[in-house]
Structure 1
């Protein structure tokens, strides 16, 4: 059975409540409506699969220095969320769309910045010659899938945002802090994926 087949077979009904968005699931829809976005949860096809993540540069206007999946807004020319996620992964880390096998689109997540983000689960070959986009991506790294799915590595935190206390999940791997929307989408994946 291929890794893509294993992942597809392991996806099921959520065990526990899924996280729907920032601000404890109560992110307010912008007046102009949610802006559609997609991210790629790229799983490397190796005996111990890993998940590709990026560290954003410190010079970015929003989410500077944060850990994120490759992704961004869905453009008018994108056929759907998977097409957008693949385009963004190519632009951000030079991940070839032809080398990517899409497994499924997952549950949308709403951010306080006004995006409705669709995570796209996919499998990629290991050790591709990925290249960070200058000015956007400071680093590309891989975290073992088993580490991300293990609830023992999850912690919770809170901070104030626009006069409201926001609760969030976070994980630390290799000195890097994964939190906010990225951690929430990892939590949702862990609640849908039965993985051994």
Structure 2
């Protein structure tokens, strides 16, 4: 079974496991958001990630999936994720084959994030929007889903202890919400 078939089957199953997120950081209300986890359609699939510019007001300089708030004009998380991926990386929505929506992730910054998993053509020409994306890169899906690559760390944030996942891919640091979403997906597939 291919990675894509495994993910599709896992998203459509009744697998029960303990989802980890940042609800324990004290926030009660979370705004609706969605991200696209764009998996490249190749024999060894990869995942497209973005590097946010250092000057952004929130999550500056961090590695992230393309995504953002669900707007009133969106019909739900899938349309929001597709819209954001198009805005951020010029991924045409019609070029994305949706596999499903993974487990909701509640962030410490106040978002209820729906991770939408979609397959995109290999070597799709991506054009980063400089207002939102400094750079983009592709990480092998097998690397992201290997639990040995996700180190659980602890730090103080806003006066509270928090745990988070941290992954190092070459010079890129994948951590926090992005690594947490990946860790939950890896647990779902285990």
- Bucket of the pairwise TM-score, normalised by the shorter protein: over 0.9
Cα drift, residue 15 of structure 1: 7.1
Structure 2 counterpart of 1:143:
139
> Which segments of structure 1 move beyond 6 Å, counting only runs of 4 or more?
none
Tell me which moved more, 127-136 or 46-55.
Answer: 127-136
Aligned: 1:153 with 2:149: yes
Contact kept? 2:25, 2:162, Cα under 8 Å: no
Contact 1:59–1:135 (CA under 8 A) maintained in structure 2: no
Note the C-alpha offset of 1:7: 2.8
Query: How many pairs does the alignment contain?
Result: 189
Counterpart for residue 9 of structure 1: 9
Tell me: CA distance 1:89–1:155, structure 2 relative to 1, closer, same or farther (3 Å): same
**Residue aligning to 1:18:** 19
CA RMSD of aligned residues (A): 1.8
Aligned counterpart, 2:171: 175
The runs of 5 or more residues in structure 1 that have no matched partner are none
Q: Give the distance between the partners of 1:148 and 1:2, measured in 2 at CA.
A: 15
Contact 2:6/2:189 (8 A) holds in 1: no
Answering whether residue 89 of structure 2 is matched by residue 93 of structure 1, we say: yes
CA deviation vs aligned residue, 1:51-70 (integer Å, no higher than 9, x gap)? 11000001100111000000
Counterpart for residue 61 of structure 1 = 57
Shift of 1:163: 1.0
If the length of structure 1 is used for normalisation, what is the TM-score?
A: 0.90
What is the distance in 2 between the residues matched to 1:145 and 1:15? 22
TM (norm. structure 2) is 0.93
Unaligned stretches of 5+ residues in structure 2: none
